[in-house]
Amino acid sequence: QYAKRVGGINRVATVLAELAESIQPNAFDANLLQHVPVTALQRLGYLLDKVFDNQPLANALYMALQNNNAP
């Protein structure tokens, strides 16, 4: 849906790959989780894990999502 607006899926992947290098695991905090839809964060986690092979960030995001949903 938004891929055309940002220049295509390849551009999205390039930007995300560059950003992943500077993202710290503690960036996945409650403030982020309140302002970004869960589905977008799940997609980000998938890309970090499967496409960019960045398990530390993917795991940090997963744990943040799990902790955010804890009662």
Parent domain of 19: 9-68
pLDDT in tens, the chain (71 residues): 666 777 877 888 888 899 999 999 999 999 999 999 999 899 999 999 999 999 999 999 999 999 987 55
- Cβ within 8 Å of residue 47, ≥6 positions away: 13, 16
pLDDT of residue 9: 76
| Residue 58 placed within a domain | yes
Give how many domains the chain has, as a whole number. 1
Burial of 2 (0-12, 13-18, 19+ CB in 10 A): exposed
Q: Is residue 57 part of a domain?
A: yes
